[in-house]
Amino acid sequence: MTEQQINAAIAEACGWGQKPVVNTDGKGSVWVTNCPNYCNDLNAMHEAELVLTKDRSSYLTELAILISTDDLRGLDADWPWVCATARQRAEAFLRTLGKWENGE
């Protein structure tokens, strides 16, 4: 997914309104409202993560897959969680909600 598609999908999941317009290639819609940049803003992703109430365990599982904590032990195992990028969190968020696209 492109960053624009990711931001739009998370914004929709968080209750933002949208105004679709047809792309120049005719393959879909784009958001024209000014939604947060979830892919690059940890503060925006923090706000999005608050939406996940019953899905937190699934979200952490998806995030763990993306940050690969399998080989780490002790305190080192926690470090990748703390350092997960906004983009990793955004992908895990959409995978948790079943909204990740590209056939994955």
Q: For the purposes of burial, counting CB atoms within 10 Å of the CB of 41, is it exposed (0-12), middle (13-18) or buried (19 or more)?
A: middle
Q: Residue 71: inside a domain, yes or no?
A: yes
- Which pLDDT tens digits describe the chain residue by residue (104 residues)? 999 899 989 999 998 765 544 445 555 555 556 789 999 999 999 999 999 988 888 998 898 888 876 665 665 666 667 789 999 999 999 999 999 997 54
Helix, strand, coil share of the chain (percent; to 5): 50, 5, 50
* pLDDT score at 39: 96
* pLDDT score at 61: 86
Alpha carbons 102 and 104: distance in angstroms, whole number: 6
What domain range includes position 38? Answer: 3-96
Domain count across the chain: 1
Q: Residue 103: inside a domain, yes or no?
A: no
* pLDDT score at 64: 85
Q: Residue 101: inside a domain, yes or no?
A: no
